Amino acid sequence: MIEASIRLQGVEQLIDDEKYFVIHAVRRSGKTIYLKDLAARLNAGEKYYALWCSLEGVCGRLK
């Protein structure tokens, strides 16, 4: 398994460039952990305020 920080190099540059991006991968591949870590790193600086929310529980109820 490749470390998420290596696979997802460049995401912070996309944010700096105000570009959209999608993280799409199989279940249990570390997407949530990576995004929570990214939010923490962004919040540790003074340039961004990252907000974390999950719609996982909502999606199942819409069916």
Q: What pLDDT does residue 1 have?
A: 56
3-state SS class at 44: helix
Q: What does the alpha-carbon distance between residue 47 and residue 11 come to, in Å, rounded to a whole number?
A: 15
Direct distance between the N- and C-terminal alpha carbons of the chain, in angstroms, rounded to an integer: 33
- Looking at the chain, the number of H-run helices and the number of E-run strands are 4, 0
Q: What are the pLDDT digits (tens) for 4-30?
A: 667 778 899 999 999 998 888 888 888
pTM confidence score: 0.74
Q: What pLDDT does residue 2 have?
A: 61
